[in-house]
Amino acid sequence: MGVDPIWGITSNKLAFVNVIKMKVSVIMAIFHMSIGIIMKGTNSVYFGRWLDLVTEVIFGLIIFLGLFGWMDALIIAKWFFPINIDEKDTSLVPDEEKYRLYYETEDSDMLAAGSNYNLVYHGDYVNRKVPSIINIMITSVFQFGSYKGTTAGDMYSVLPQANPNDPNLNLDDGNAKQYGIAVALLVIVGILCPLMLFVKPCVAGCTNHDDDENDEIEFTNINRGDGMQEPMMGAEYQAVNGDDNSRRITDEIINKRQSQMKDLDR
């Protein structure tokens, strides 16, 4: 696999290669972050944190893949879109201004009639009607999939569809499927976002549950009297130098963490 070496002598080599690197980077980044969310899920299962599993892992993964995973799917689908750029037939190309290539001529009649042009080849025509991924995402999110009457409605769908060389191909069929999926995913994301953000805090507030196992170590300097400094756990355990009670609490927390680490090593 690789890039056709002919791109090395073209004037737009840099732009072409940068597009490939950008899309591959996006795919790899989303895959990497998805693995991170899944690993958080395995930790939630191991420690029995089922609320975290549902609200942060399952909801988070659906939201993440519903937006950026869908974008990856569009990128890959566009790579497989059938385009024969060497197709020279112009019979399927509509005679419109944007598809005309004008040339110079000394024929005054042709110049007067404005007929000194050739239509682009059909391969180029199909290539122009394949939408960019950014435009698809903008139409899906900011216009809520409303493609009719816009530039997006005049484009092909990048999803698998009928042969684009078919003169009877209905663009609306492919776009309805493409933007229908996008809007459905967007609705799911819109529902799950507040659930992911508010369910866990509401549950914690209603149950008033203080989970000591989830306490994070705060690196607060504790004077133990022997010149050694130890980390402290939680704001409620802020130590005061020379306070025996604070030292005792610190010892208990450190011993607790050491026993937990030993249990994990078994």
Residue 100: strand pairing partners: 119
What are 1-38's pLDDT values in tens digits? 567 777 778 888 888 888 888 999 999 999 999 999 99
Q: Give the tokens for residue 131.
A: 């939408």
Q: pTM higher than 0.85 for the full model?
A: no
Closest CA to 54 of 65, 44, 67, 39: 44
The confidence band for 194, taking pLDDT boundaries of 50, 70 and 90, is very high
How many Å apart are CA 72 and CA 161, to the nearest integer? 18
Question: Residue 52 CB: number of other CB atoms within 10 A?
Answer: 19
* End-to-end alpha carbon distance in the chain: 46
CA distance 8 to 14: 9
* Percentage of the chain exceeding pLDDT 90: 25
Tell me the two tokens of residue 2. Answer: 């690789």
Residue 209 pLDDT class (50, 70, 90 cuts): low
pLDDT digits 0-9 by tens, 135-164: 888 888 888 878 776 667 678 788 876 566
Calculate ∠ Cα 129-130-135, nearest 5°: 105
- Weakest-pLDDT range from 74-83, 217-226, 252-261: 217-226
Contact at 8 Å (CB) between 177 and 77?
no
Q: Which has the closest alpha carbon to 236: 248, 251, 244, 246?
A: 246
Give the pLDDT confidence score for residue 15 in this predicted structure.
83
pLDDT at 244 over 50: yes
Per-residue model confidence as pLDDT tens digits over 210-231: 555 555 444 444 444 444 444 5
Report the mean per-residue pLDDT for the chain. 78
Domain layout of the chain by residue ranges = 5-81+167-206, 212-265
Place of tokens 């991924």: 133
